[in-house]
Amino acid sequence: MKIKHLVSGIALSMGASVLSVSAMAADTIKVGVLHSLSGTMAISETTLKDTVLMMVEEQNKKGGLLGKKLEAVVVDPASNWPLFAEKTRELLTKDQVDVIFGCWTSVSRKSALPVLEELNGLMFYPVQYEGEESSKNVFYTGAAPNQQAIPAVDYLMNDLGVKRWVLAGTDYVYPRTTNKILEAYLKAKGVAEEDIMINYTPFGHSDWQSIVSDIKSFGAEGKKTAVVSTINGDANVPFYKELGNQGISAEDIPVVAFSVGEEELSGLDTKPLVGHLAAWNYFQSVESDANSAFISQWKAFTGNPDRVTNDPMEATYIGFKMWTQAVEKAGTTDVDAVEQAMIGQETENLTGGMAYMNKNHHLSKPVLIGEIQDDGQFEVVWETEGVVPGDAWSDFLPGSKDLIADWTAPISCGNYNTVTKTCSGQNY
Amino acid sequence: MRYINAICACLLGLLISTSVLAEPPSEAQQPLLLELTEVKLNKALPVLQQLETTEGADMLALFKTMLNGDLYYEKESKRLIAALKEQSVTRYTDLFSGEELNDLSKNQVSKIKVNNKLRGYLGEAIARMQLNHPDSVVRKDAVRSLFSDLGANTIELIRTARLKEQSRSVQDVMDVALALYRTEHAAEATDRLQAVKVLEGSLEPEVRNQLTRLAENDPSRSVRKAAQTGLDKIDQKAEMYGFINQLFFGLSLGSVLLLAAIGLAITFGVMGVINMAHGEMIMLGAYTTYVVQLMLPNMIEYSLWIAVPLAFMVSGLAGILIERLVIRHLHGRPLETLLATFGISLILQQMVRTVFSPLNRQVATPDWMSGSIEINPLLSLTLNRLYIVAFALLVFMILLIVLKKTSLGLNVRAVSQNRDMAKAMGIRTDRVDALTFGLGSGIAGIAGVALSQLTNVGPNLGQAYIIDSFMVVVFGGVGNLWGTLVAAFTLGVANKFIEPVTGAVLASILVLVFIILFIQKRPKGLFPQKGRAAE
Amino acid sequence: MSSLLSSFMSFSRINGDSRVAPFVVVLLVVTALASFCNLLMPADSVFYVSTYTITLLGKYLCYAMLALAVDVIWGYCGILSLGHGAFFALGGYAMGMYLMRQIGDRGVYGNPELPDFMVFLNWSELPWFWHGMDQFWVAMLMVLLVPGLLAYVFGWLAFRSRVTGVYLSIMTQALTYALLLSFFRNEMGFGGNNGLTDFKDILGFDLQSDNTRVTLFIVTALMLCGLLVLSKKIMQTRFGKVIVAIRDGESRARFIGYRTENYKVWLFVYSAMIAGIAGALYVPQVGIINPGEFSPINSIEIVIWVAVGGRGTLVGAIIGAILVNYAKTKFTAIMPDGWLFALGAMFVLVTLYLPKGLMGLVAQLKDQQLKGEQHKSQKAADNSPNEKTEEGHA
Amino acid sequence: MSLLDTTREVMRRDQVWPFLQDHSQEVDISHQVLLYVEGLNLSFDGFKALNDLNLYINDGELRCLIGANGAGKTTLMDVITGKTKCDSGTVYFGQSLNLLEKDEAEIAQLGIGRKFQKPTVFEAHTVMDNLELSLKSNKSVMPTLLATLNSAEYDQIDHVLETIGLKGERMMLAGSLSHGQKQWLEIGMLLMANPRLLLVDEPVAGMTVQEGERTAELLTSLAGERTVVVVEHDMEFVRSIARTVTVLHQGSVLAEGTMDEIQNNQDVIEVYLGEAP
């Protein structure tokens, strides 16, 4: 790798006569890691990079894969979306990695996607997202909306008897889509238009006074009210603080968040948050052998007893496990073979039970609702019976209700229209 | 229920003293208490309900402890324990005997979990028990927290309590509660009408909801009319208070802008230095607060007061350092100071990232700053905002005095107006520059302390405020503190009045565009410096 | 190509410019070589240039063009724009919209009219400003018009009311910041935070194919050379002299009868258009455009490219851009968290010790040999300050 | 008025349409007076820089303005050249042209040249370029972009270089000239535009005696075909060139007349010469 850097250095300085040392016959299996190590997303993504490294290390302890050692190739897309495409190309062409674990934000995934499909790479995407996508070259181990948002709403509706809904989110595609889906879902459940309040705020919004007081008055009209929050990252702290200060407690107006996990909580004073909810497929607090083993392994690996684990980490964990299984099953790291072998793979959730990889490249996972405790952990208050299969195309959006993804013959298409029986928009 | 927090807060004190039950639990209660330690979270509610109703010891302390999530039980003996968390250590006391159990360790006890359902119930139960509490404030809050669901037995309790109630204010709320019940259940229209009359003038949201219901679908016409008039009155009031509320929001946003910008008003306005690292000075202040709380975990309440001077010094010194090392060499090249200081800001950010991880840091809010004072059910001002408004104005005043009255201020003004002349008169301009820059940065540091109470303490804190700060200073007119003050509050209030109409995103865009256009109209801002010196 | 070269050479001889011509030659040679090695060399040959490198080079050249735009306005007219990222992004969006429309019904929802992001935010029909963008020439027109118009309006307001120096910089920053916020909004109809991506082809050529990529790269290189030469030529006309005059003594220029505001506005527009073109060429090569490009930080970074290379020397700006970005690519690979330190240090050191950038350094080294007379003159030329305070009269 | 009438009104041939009237900015000096300054007032927050100032400059005369610092000499020039807007008063160039409603560029193109106290030349340009830029030519953007020097203009430049004695330095960067040379270059730039009226602010400041004398010669030679207003502190210099001298004091005219009259004027002696050594 070093050499090639230097070489392409010469290339640039003295013209493009590059002695591109084509990667020598792989005696190792290369695992690309495409997570931002600098810039705004570094906060979340470095954790995942470490997780992958940890898994690789563990796998190598077990004697590697197909008798070869795994070699992690880490690059830094620096939270800069175009860089994700560039780095993906670098990983696939220069380093010739066999698989990539990476991306956090949707935009970074969207940016890397065309390159993946052009060069037929394989990527595992470990974060909950808005769905509406299924690529041959990507496996989505995070939650689709129907694995997070909808169960959460069900819980609020049935167990807490919520009648009025505030859908508050940061103004970008994940909240937009999720809220569209929820809106449709709630209306289908017979919630009236005026009982739904939708509100969008810019990234890192810090002055929540008016919005919170709106929510307060919205909630003061007798019916039980809840906030479904797709507020992202930094905006959360001031939001919860304002809630606390305006005296809105979790008993009055519970907030269920989809982007607040252990990692985020570790950065804020949980006093005003106690009792508010979050919906994930994993909580660190869940008691299971696999989980406690994972946690202790993580703390050992990072050498920090206070490090917390979170849902995207589990998603990475599951993805990695499944990939190794698939490679063993296929007996090769060839993308097409592995892609087919992936479908139907099963591996143990950290929360107990088995995760299952569906034909649409999304997982079947259990959904948990947790209440925030004053120690920054979640107390599971509800969980789905059995697992929920991830839905690539939401049934609640007019655009996508007829679409399905099925990567097995005869369909083998990411967006197959069940009505017109056509498969549109593939890049190959 | 919305007042439970308040109750908890004011009871926390009592709790410690009264965390011992009056008498040991009765036979009837024992099994329930035992069950409480074993039952699953979602099955716990009935147990508690029984506990409330069964004869025997008063369960107030138990409920309070549980509500605060301090209720534990010893694993083998199954006896209930109250945990008392003091910043670092946790003390356990037997809930019944009240004896200290210092030998107990964390793994010998296990927590009795609560969730929102239980919290909700506990809150009401406590409220019911508190109807005869010695303190009238507590009684009042108790009654109000019962408004949201007035069952027959609750009403009974209130009615009995009402008979021996002395305090006027408490009587009123009790009457409201009873009236609410009557409007709901009284068969006689006249009866309901009376009740409605009682309700008039009360601003409680429950009252409003009830009136709306009555106005829509009460069988009796007269009642509907009465309810409607009542509603209209409330709505009028609501409108007014809504306006006041918005104004307050605007002012508090303005005060934040003021804090963020005022340091810049000095470095930029007086010295003409474009300090792109200004945001990072704020950030340093915020991190200072964090460190202070880290160092003195038992003094959270005072941490801010300690942090303010420290933050001033930290950022101030950083500022002086920057001035000495970089800005000094770029004199009279403002655009280049802009570039250099931007570089510095990058370095500072990355430094913070490496020193204290890229994650946001947790800065606790002292109790005296959290919560809000409720003027009436429709209007309550959050404490932290109030304090920050006051704080901002205080800082502003002090700064004015420093610049107007002290010799430093005199020198600063002299240098800012005519550097060469000042030099000629033996003012050590370079020293003045350093101090001025230090002062500006120091103020930014203080702002950081305040902001740490409102928003994230993280590496990006500074970036979030730098542009706004510049906007404020430029809009207000460079070199004019009063201008900065006016600008900050104008922008704050404007923003808050646009926001409900357009949404937060558009609001901030509109404000930006407005400033851009305004500057085209008046390049020197609201209060330009006149005269030859300015040209 | 050779004829092109010779023409450049002759041109350079005419106006005795020492730097531009050789640079252009080198650039074109490199471009030709790189493309040749990519297309005609077998992938396993030592001389093969990977498509990755080609796109990388293409990206650098786009940045170089952007730097050129900033240098024209900052180096020659002393107008420090902290908002040029905005013009770059606008040009990019115009191109992006065209590419988006090219996708047609190959989007995931197979909707022939609407881009995917509109479909799943269930928009019913195309917003007005998307119409016609499926025509290449319309898009190209927009690439020039939109940034140009914005620059004209902004410049006309700002310069006529004599907003100068720092104020102007801050205003440009506010401008790009406002645009950033508005493009994040999904209602704007530009795909919000995700921006525009997943492009398929341009003018019917498949964007994924090496040929297309190489062609884009070559086009970028030629465009860069063209704009470089053009800018140089403009700066040698009397117009150019007036521009520099404005930089060094605006009020003086007014007192000898020049409407300086008009000159500034048109230069600003010209510069904005260059930025727009750069953006338009950037998008198909990196395959995505999103509001991130509007962020003020980017715009400030551009300035540092120019400062490093040496402002007021067009070639310097280009070299600066390429060097800094090359360094960035390397640096972030080696030590990710180190990069910001390096960049920050660069800002400080360059402004402190290299006010004239690398080119200035070279020039100074040259002087060392020369005799006193020229030495003095060169010095004087060097410290012709860009933000020279207007001659006060108190 | 009905549409028909309007059209009639417009079509009347006994008057020209406004856009047909020629707006040639010819300076009308039928009354021999080139510059009228009347009732000029200007105050910078409180301080009255100009106080009801009246001044008339005849065509072709050479006028010296003297006065203590802050008397308003430079401010007056600022107002005339459009740099500063005054609070009240009128400034007319010839009979017809109201300078107050024009900006610097227009005023300059009308033929009012100004030389600053501090010599201000374009330091990054060669002497040659400095002069070229000051050429009297169409100074709007497009023409300037396409402009090239024709032989006549070359000759003019040469001629001016001659007069200001910088022939040898024509290719030197203005920034590297000596202070005196800069002064000269600036005057040269004024000449290039061959202005009607020259406002010269302390021309000999920082000049050697010889340079000063040459400047004096130049200015006197200019007077006649052009009108020259000189602000100067150096009484020797003033005496050497002055025909009429105007004394400003606290923003208004204190006295006016020949040098001798001025020197014997009581108030002047008090406020000005009194201070002078």
- Mind listing the pLDDT tens digit for each residue in D162-193? 888 888 888 888 888 888 888 889 888 888 88
Question: Is A198 part of the contact surface with chain B (CB cutoff 8 Å)?
Answer: no
Compute the distance between CA of residue D178 and CA of residue B54 in angstroms, rounded to an integer: 106
Cβ–Cβ below 8 Å for C241 and D109: no
Residues B176 and B306 in one domain: no
pLDDT band at A369 (very low <50, low <70, confident <90, very high): very high
Identify all chain A residues contacting B41, using CB atoms and an 8 Å cutoff.
Answer: 379, 381
Instruction: List the structure tokens of B473.
Output: 């200073």
ipTM above 0.90, yes or no: no
Closest-CA residue of chain A to B508: A202
Looking at the fold, whether B163 and B145 belong to one and the same domain comes out as: yes
- Among the partner residues A237, A245, A373, nearest to B371 by beta-carbon distance: A245
Asked whether residue B232 is assigned to any structural domain, the reply reads: no
pLDDT of residue B133: 80
Residues D244 and D138: their CA atoms lie apart, in Å, by 35
Residues B343 and B477 in one domain: yes
Interchain pair D47, B530: CB under 8 A: no
Q: Are residues B256 and B387 in the same domain?
A: yes
CATH of the domain at B470: 1.10.3470
The pLDDT score that the predictor gives to residue B58 is 72
Per-window interface: A 303-362 vs B, CB < 8 A: none
Residues B124 and B182 both lie in one domain: no
Tell me the range of A174-178, B12-16, B424-428 where mean pLDDT is highest: A174-178
Q: What is the pLDDT of residues B202-253, one digit of tens each?
A: 888 888 888 888 888 888 888 888 888 888 988 888 889 989 999 999 999 9
Interacting residues of C292 by C-beta distance below 8 A, sequence separation 6+? A80, A81, C195, C298
Answer whether D183 touches C (CB < 8 Å): no
Lookup: tokens for B277: 């690292």
Confirm if D218 and D35 have CB atoms less than 8 A apart. no
Kindly report the nearest CA distance between residue C338 and chain D, in angstroms: 39
C170 vs B contacts (CB less than 8 Å): 274, 470-471, 474
Query: Which site among B276, B417, B478, B516 would you substitute to test the C interface, given the most C Cβ atoms closer than 10 Å to its Cβ?
Result: B516
**Do B290 and B250 share a domain, yes or no?**
yes
C332 touches chain A (CB under 8 A): yes
- Asked if the structure places residue B228 within a domain, the reply is no
Query: Chain C residue with minimal CA distance to A395?
Result: C120
Assess contact for C192 and C34: CB atoms under 8 A: no
- The 10s digit of each residue's pLDDT in A31-66 is 999 998 877 788 788 899 999 999 999 999 998 899
What does DSSP assign to residue B459? T
Q: Which residues of C touch D123 (CB under 8 A)?
A: 248, 380-381, 384
Q: Which of B371, B496, B505 sits opposite A171 (nearest CB)?
A: B505
User: Is the pLDDT reported for residue A165 higher than 90?
Assistant: yes
> What would the two tokens of residue C354 be?
């290299």
Last residue in a domain, options B97, B130, B163: B130
Give A-chain residues touching B119 at CB under 8 angstroms. 249-251, 275
Q: Look up residue D263 and give its two tokens.
A: 């020197």
C162/B509 Cβ within 8 A? no
- What does the mean pLDDT of chain B come to? 83
Number of domains making up chain B? 3
C-beta separation of A405 from A393 below 8 A:
yes
Distance of CA A316 to the CA centre of its chain: 9
Q: Does B420 touch chain D (CB under 8 A)?
A: no
Query: Do A172 and C57 lie within an 8 Å CB cutoff?
Result: no
Contact C57 A16 (CB under 8 A): yes
Average pLDDT, chain D: 81
CA distance A291 to chain C (A): 31
- Is the CB of C348 less than 8 angstroms away from the CB of B513? no
Contact C341 B505 (CB under 8 A): no
Point out the least confidently predicted range of B155-169, C8-22, C29-43, D50-64: C8-22
Q: Is the pLDDT of residue A10 over 80?
A: no
Name residue A403's beta-bridge partners. Answer: A417
C332 contacts in chain B (CB < 8 Å): none
Nearest to B98 by CA among B80, B112, B113: B80
Distance in angstroms (rounded) separating the CA atoms of residues D226 and D229: 10
* All partners of chain A with 3 or more CB pairs under 8 angstroms: B, C
Average pLDDT over residues A15-23: 35
Q: Is pLDDT of B363 > 70? A: yes
Name which of D176, D199, D202 to mutate to probe chain C: the one with the most chain C Cβ atoms within 10 A of its Cβ. D176
Are the Cβ atoms of B520 and C158 closer than 8 angstroms?
Answer: yes
Strand partners, A362: A140
Nearest CA in chain C to A422: C110
- Domain, as residue range, for B316: 240-369+379-534
Q: Is B157 domain-assigned?
A: yes
Highest mean pLDDT among A139-148, B15-24, D117-126: A139-148
Query: A247 and B372 in contact (C-beta within 8 Å)?
Result: yes
Helix/strand/coil for D266: helix
User: How far, in Å, CA of D275 to CA of A318, rounded?
Assistant: 94
- Residue B135 placed within a domain: no
- Which of A246, A267, A374 is opposite residue B361, by nearest beta carbon? A267
Q: Is the pLDDT of residue A141 over 50?
A: yes
Same domain, B85 and B147: no
Asked if residue B467 lies in contact with residue B515, where contact means CB atoms within 8 angstroms, the answer is no
Any CB–CB contact under 8 A between B531 and chain D? Answer: yes
CA-based nearest distance A358→chain C, Å: 20
Across the interface, do A415 and C37 touch by the CB < 8 Å criterion? no
- Statement: the pTM of the whole predicted model exceeds 0.90: no
Could you tell me if residue B226 is inside a domain? no
pLDDT at C393: 37
Indicate whether B245 and B214 sit together in one domain.
Answer: no
Q: Does residue B197 share a domain with residue B122?
A: no
Of residues D83, D139, D173, nearest to C381 (C-beta): D173
* Strands laid side by side in the A138-140 sheet: A69-75, A28-34, A99-102, A123-125, A138-140
B and C adjacent (3 or more CB pairs under 8 angstroms): yes
Query: What pLDDT, on a 0 to 100 scale, did the predictor assign at position C306?
Result: 93
Asked if C383 has any chain B CB less than 8 Å from its own CB, the reply is no
Q: How many CB atoms lie within 10 A of CB B434?
A: 19
Contact status, residue A130 vs residue A174, Cβ threshold 8 Å: yes
Whether the CB of A187 is below 8 Å from some CB of chain C: the reply is: no
pLDDT over 70 (residue C6): no
Q: Which residues of B touch C169 (CB under 8 A)?
A: 274, 335, 338
B92 phi/psi in degrees, rounded to 5: -110, 135
Task: Tell me: pLDDT of A405 over 80.
Answer: yes
Contact A15 C34 (CB under 8 A): yes
Please tell me whether residues B158 and B80 are part of one structural domain: no
Euclidean distance between CA atoms D46 and B213, whole angstroms: 67
With a cut of 90, say whether residue A324 has pLDDT above it: yes
Confidence of residue C208 (pLDDT cuts 50, 70, 90): confident
If one compares B43 and A354, the residue with the highest pLDDT of the two is A354
C80·B520 Cβ contact <8 A: no
Provide DSSP, A139-185. Answer: EE-S--GGGTHHHHHHHHHHHS---EEEEEEESSHHHHHHHHHHHHH
Q: Hey, are the CB atoms on B532 and D44 less than 8 Å from each other?
A: yes
Average pLDDT, chain C: 85
**Residue A423's beta-bridge partner residues?**
A416
pLDDT value of position A26: 52
C-beta atoms of C252 and D121 within 8 A = yes
B419 and B442 assigned to the same domain: yes
Give D45's contacts in chain B (Cβ within 8 Å).
530-531
Task: Indicate whether A203 pLDDT > 60.
Answer: yes
**Mean pLDDT value across chain A:** 86
Among B130, B163, B186, the domain boundary falls at: B130
Size of interface B-D (CB pairs under 8 A): 6
Are B65 and B102 within one domain?
yes
**Could you give all domains of chain A from N- to C-terminal order, each with its CATH number?**
7-144+294-365 (3.40.50.2300), 146-286+368-389 (3.40.50.2300)
